Structure 1
Amino acid sequence: MRGMPALSLPGSKSITARALFLAAAADGVTTLVRPLRSDDTEGFAEGLVRLGYRVGRTPDTWQVDGRPQGPAVAEADVYCRDGATTARFLPTLAAAGHGTYRFDASPQMRRRPLLPLSRALRDLGVDLRHEEAEGHHPLTVRAAGVEGGEVTLDAGQSSQYLTALLLLGPLTRQGLRIRVTDLVSAPYVEITLAMMRAFGVEVAREGDVFVVPPGGYRATTYAIEPDASTASYFFAAAALTPGAEVTVPGLGTGALQGDLGFVDVLRRMGAEVSVGADATTVRGTGELRGLTANMRDISDTMPTLAAIAPFASAPVRIEDVANTRVKECDRLEACAENLRRLGVRVATGPDWIEIHPGPATGAQVTSYGDHRIVMSFAVTGLRVPGISFDDPGCVRKTFPGFHEAFAELRRGIGS
């Protein structure tokens, strides 16, 4: 069995972003252990600093002085870079304070939708104005605290809208009752609820209604688990390579992240998968079967599956992933176009992609500035010589050292 030492992967982006919000909102000083250090999370931390929060950073820990009353400054201009969590969570956090706060983001992030969250905040009495296109950055929040009460939310485009409101709930005067009409990527909401519990808040659920009590958060020490979406590329590499084995410690049966469910897809395709209490191992058996997979709840790993699909023994059909069209790019079309460029036969629909097995040839992959496109097609490159990228550096969004780590994996599994 060709393997490599247990992989040390960066912390989860989703968990780091939520932890930064919770730490900023909590009463006291919170220590975050092994947070992800990437463009997105550094942007989030920098945004907190602009809002007047103290964030102390060492290589392995970040310390945040919480302010339950909201930002320490009465005015701020915050640049959210490319980060969707930054661009959605920070205006929500600022709304609980008192002052005027302007938010802007990169051209890529300006294109991504925000309107369901904007509408919900306005329904709660928040003075929030979009300066250019309605429902998109830039925006200004004139904050005077949030009373709370009932609100209805459509989270069919992004679960981050619901997470933002859940995180806000304990900072409101009355608490929140959030009625959800549609929800995508539900496991990410479970991450939010578990993390709120760690900071002292228990959310109740009554059918489609989430009931969030007022009263604020308690500071704590919080360890960030490795990023399961990032782990998917390394697990896929093992599944693609007969006799290869990859183990990721820190991701096991107790993991918060739903994207660890990607290994169940690999198991269905023929890989050997072992999920222990505190580690997950994937072994390549030499078999990679075609399948139909509903990836609504693990849609960030859709490109990973698309990237190994040409090497399956039968077509791979990925369904219920319409929300991947409003990520950093239209990921569904980006995968289809790049696979076609490699000579692979692909069909797509509004919320599905079907990839047929067949030989592939090397070509330059167009990244569309999307870290997940680059990391996914790096896995394809294990079997297809001559794959290159127009923007390999965009991986800094979540994993600045990805190319080095993947090259080490490649040597370890002898691919």
Structure 2
Amino acid sequence: MTAPADTDLWPAPRPNAPVERTISLPGSKSLTNRALVLAALADGPSVVRRPLRSRDTTLMARALASMGVGVEDSGDDWRITPGPLDGDAQVDCGLAGTVMRFLPPVAGLSTGRVSFDGDPHMRNRPVGEVLVALTALGVQVDDGGRGALPFTVVGRGSVPGGTVVIDASASSQFISALLLAGARFEHGVDVRHDGKPVPSLPHIDMTVAMLRRHGVEVDDSGANRWAVAPGPIAAVDHVIEPDLSNAAPFLALAATSGGSVTIRDWPRETTQAGDALREILAQMGCEVAFTDEGLRARGTGRLHGIDVDLHDVGELTPAVAALCALADSPSHLRGVAHIRAHETDRLAALAAELGGLGADVTEHPDGLAFRPAPLHGGVFRTYADHRMAHAGAIVGSAVDGVKVEDIATTSKTFPDFAGFWSALVVP
């Protein structure tokens, strides 16, 4: 990789005192994009309130609009009017796995040719299982046999549906993609997983919970099987929760600064994977508690190592790895081989970048191991990955001289992260 120019480097600010702040975060990307898809397929208009406005969600809204869905800005909300899904369309997936995977089943319900492509790196991200499944369910897909972007879905106005067996060990989104549109298939959809354990199961639980809110019948009583009955998808307004995974660097800031950070409106019950931060941070030595305003994490001045399986919450790995590199005892993060196929190979990237700052880190096939070591400043590359940028910011909050490359990549899920973070760290 070519060395970044100085203009691409963001000096990560380090607080000169414990950070004591209460903050509000943008909405959940996972909830926002699921809500948009379900609203587009519903039996009437609905409103998605307080959605995340970021690159990923804007790409989803634009893609749905290009396919014939009415998407109207209504103040801070999106008003969605289901359309006839007719005519040809071109979908820009950017770096959004939810757009690349959730929309091909929707495109199968259209009466046009819907072409999909995205940023160059997206051509390396797995989607083949979704395309093979759609073909088995009666959808015409032209991908040149690649099982990857670019591809075209040729809609016929309806999808027969039925039973399909897939290997979703690379991404839970393969299953969510089929479930979200499955009620609109003639025979519904019965998805059966055959392979290594499905990662990020809370995201499938989120999909199932949202489908049920829309009146869709879902049977998830059996292991590795999810069946959606055919029928209407009721129009339901959604109020989007704060993005709990995006809370990771801010709660981590309480730990690295020995201060206290409260995230407003943290839900007492949620299907978001980021809720696991409560237990992880407590195990690493933070005091974590609900307050009247939200969830508060308080640093105690020391960070302890952790041995944890992050299989179900793999998106938290970069932030947790950054804290492990700063901990006073060894750590082992396991069960996350699947994050090698995220925006970048996150395990290799974390090992390289944290190691480059002095961390004693060993890369394993499914995780990372750390031993305590002094860190120093340097360039932290992000590989166009927003979670890598978060990890760099976390280390920079405890180590002088860390410069994060391409901090703007955080716009994927958090517009103006750099400005928000800097104002928080050095008010």
Shorter chain as normaliser: what TM range? Answer: over 0.9
Structure 1 gap segments, 5+ residues each: none
Aligned to 1:153: 166
1:317 equivalenced with 2:332 (yes/no): yes
Say which SS state the counterpart of residue 219 (structure 1) adopts: coil
**Pair 1:306-2:306 in alignment:** no
Aligned CA distance change for structure 1 residues 172 and 277 (closer, same or farther; 3 Å): farther
Distance 2:206 2:245 in 1: 14
Structure 1 counterpart SS, 2:247: helix
Structure 2: distance between partners of 1:318 and 1:59: 42
Instruction: Give 1:8-407 correspondences, 5 Å limit.
Output: 8-67=24-83, 71=85, 73-131=86-144, 134-144=146-156, 145-181=158-194, 182-207=197-222, 208-242=224-258, 244-275=259-290, 279-407=294-422
The two structures have a TM-score, normalised by structure 1, of 0.95
SS at match of 1:374: helix
Q: Which moved more, 1:96-105 or 1:85-94?
A: 96-105
Q: Which amino acid is the alignment partner of residue 78 of structure 1?
A: V
Q: Give the CA deviation at 1:255.
A: 2.1
In 2, Cα distance between the equivalents of 1:196 and 1:87?
20
C-alpha deviation, 1:275, in angstroms: 3.5
Shift of residue 54, structure 1, vs aligned partner: 1.0
Secondary structure of the 2:155 match is strand
Tell me the C-alpha RMSD between the 2 structures: 1.6
CA distance in 1 between partners of 2:209 and 2:221 (Å): 17
How far the C-alpha of 1:350 sits from its partner, in A, is 0.8
Q: Is the contact made by 1:263 and 1:273 (CA closer than 8 Å) also made in structure 2?
A: yes
What is the identity, as a one-letter code, of the residue corresponding to 2:424? L
Partners of 1:252 and 1:276 within 8 A in 2: no
* Correspondence for 2:7: none
- Does structure 1 conserve the Cα–Cα contact (< 8 Å) formed by 2:358 and 2:374? yes
Instruction: Tell me the residue number matched to 2:13.
Output: none
Per-residue deviation at 1:297?
Answer: 0.7
Q: Distance in 1 between matches of 2:133 and 2:90?
A: 23
Deviations 1:34-75, CA, capped at 9 Å, x for gaps: 1011111111111111111110014410011024xx51x321
Q: Is the 8 A contact 1:129 1:139 kept in 2?
A: yes
**Aligned mates of 2:165, 2:349 — CA distance in 1:** 33
Percent identity, please.
Answer: 37
Q: Per the alignment, in what secondary structure is the counterpart of residue 256 of structure 1?
A: coil
Q: Is the 8 A contact 1:232 1:304 kept in 2?
A: yes
Q: What is the distance in 2 between the residues matched to 1:205 and 1:149?
A: 16
User: How many pairs does the alignment contain?
Assistant: 407
Residue 236 of structure 2 aligns to which amino acid in structure 1? Answer: T
SS at match of 1:6: strand
Letter of the 2:127 partner, please give it: L
TM-score when normalising by structure 2: 0.92
Relative contact order (alpha carbons < 8 A, sep ≥ 6): 1 or 2 greater? 2
- State the alpha-carbon separation in 2 of the partners of residues 382 and 129 from structure 1: 47
**AA matched with 2:143:** H
Q: Is the 8 A contact 2:262 2:293 kept in 1?
A: no
Aligned partners of 1:373 and 1:227: how far apart in 2? 17
Distance 2:127 2:286 in 1: 39
Name stretches of at least 5 consecutive residues in structure 2 with no aligned partner: 1-16
The answer on whether the counterparts of 1:254 and 1:277 sit within 8 Å (CA) in structure 2 is no
